[in-house]
Chains A and B, each alone.
Chain A
Amino acid sequence: MTTVSPSVPDRVGASPVRDSPARRGSAFLYRHAKVRLALLLSAPLFWLGLVYIAALVALLITAFWTVDSFTGKIIIEWNLANITKVLGDALYHTVTLRTLGTALVVTVIDLAIAIPFAFFMAKVASRRAQRILVVAILMPLWASYLVKAYAWRSILAQGGILDWLFAPIGQTSPGYGLEGAVITLAYLWLPFVILPIYTALERVPDSLLEASADLGGKTGRTFRHVILPLITPGIIAGSIFSFSLTLGDYIAVKIVGGATQMLGSLVYANVGVANNLPLAAAISLIPLAIIFVYLAVVRRTGALENL
Chain B
Amino acid sequence: MSTQPAIRLSGLTKTFGSVTAVAGVDLDIAPGEFFSMLGPSGSGKTTVLRMIAGFETPTSGTVELFGKDVTSDAPFDRDVNTVFQDYALFPHMSVLENVAYGLRVRGVGKAGRESAAKDALSLVRLDGYGDRKPSQLSGGQRQRVALARALVVEPKVLLLDEPLGALDLKLREQMQVELKEIQRRLGITFIFVTHDQEEALTLSDRIAVFNEGNIVQLGTAEEVYRHPKTTFVANFVGTSAVFSADEAKAVLGHSGACAIRPEHLEIVRGKTPSDSVTLKGKVAETIFLGASTRIIVDLDAGKRVAVLEQNDLAQTEATIGESVTVAVHKKFLAPLT
Contact surface of A with B, Cβ cutoff 8 Å? 205, 207-208, 210-218, 221, 225-226, 229-230
Contact = CB atoms under 8 A, between A and B. Distances in A.
Chain B CB within 10 Å, residue with most, of A205, A211, A212, A221: A211
B105 A205 contact: no
Given A205-B86, A210-B75, A217 B105 contact: yes
Contact of A217 (B55, B80, B91, B101): B101
A32 to B, nearest CB: 35
Interface string B101-114: 11011100000000
Given A207-B84, A207-B86, A211-B82, A216 B91 contact: no
B88 interface: yes
Contacts of A217: 76, 101, 105
B254 to A, nearest CB: 49
Contacts of B90: 208, 211-212, 225-226
Interface residues of B, number: 25
B74 interface: yes
B55 A212 contact: no
Contact of B76 (A205, A207, A216): A216
A221 B105 contact: yes
Interface of B: 53-55, 74-76, 80-82, 84-86, 88-92, 101-102, 104-106, 149-150, 153
Contacts of B81: 214-215
Nearest to A221: B105
24 contacts: A205-B86, A210-B53, A210-B55, A210-B75, A210-B84, A210-B88, A211-B88, A211-B89, A211-B90, A212-B105, A213-B54, A213-B75, A213-B76, A214-B80, A214-B81, A214-B150, A215-B101, A215-B150, A216-B76, A218-B105, A221-B105, A226-B90, A229-B92, A230-B92
A207 B153 contact: no
B65 to A, nearest CB: 14
A221 B104 CA distance: 10
A215 B149 CA distance: 8
User: Is the contact region of chain B dominated by helix, strand, or loop, or is it mixed?
Assistant: loop
Contacts of B80: 214
B75 to A, nearest CB: 4
Contacts of A226: 90
Given A215-B102, A215-B149, A216-B76, A230 B82 contact: no
A226 B92 CA distance: 8
A218 B106 CA distance: 10
Contact of A208 (B75, B88, B102, B150): B88
B2 to A, nearest CB: 31
A215 B90 CA distance: 12
Contact of B74 (A211, A213, A215, A230): A213
Nearest to B97: A225
Chain B CB within 10 Å, residue with most, of A205, A208, A213, A230: A213
A215 B76 CA distance: 6
A225 B74 CA distance: 19
Contact of A216 (B85, B88, B102): B102
Contacts of B54: 213-214
Contacts of B74: 213, 218
Contact of A214 (B76, B92, B104, B106): B76
A207 to B, nearest CB: 4
A210 B82 contact: yes
B98 to A, nearest CB: 9
Given A205-B86, A221-B105, A214 B75 contact: yes
Given A207-B84, A215-B153, 19 more contacts: A205-B88, A207-B88, A210-B75, A211-B82, A211-B88, A211-B89, A211-B90, A213-B74, A213-B75, A213-B76, A214-B53, A214-B76, A214-B150, A215-B101, A215-B149, A218-B74, A221-B105, A225-B90, A230-B92
A143 to B, nearest CB: 37
A3 B278 CA distance: 53
Contacts of A210: 53, 55, 75, 82, 84, 88
B94 to A, nearest CB: 13
Nearest to A226: B90
B334 to A, nearest CB: 39
Nearest to B104: A225
Given A208-B88, A230-B92, A214 B82 contact: yes
B171 to A, nearest CB: 21
A215 B92 contact: no
A235 to B, nearest CB: 14
Nearest to B99: A215
Contact of B153 (A205, A216, A225): A216
Contacts of B106: 216
Nearest to A230: B92
A215 B54 CA distance: 12
B190 to A, nearest CB: 15
A211 B75 CA distance: 9
B91 A230 contact: yes
Contacts of B91: 230
Contacts of A215: 76, 81, 101-102, 105, 149-150, 153
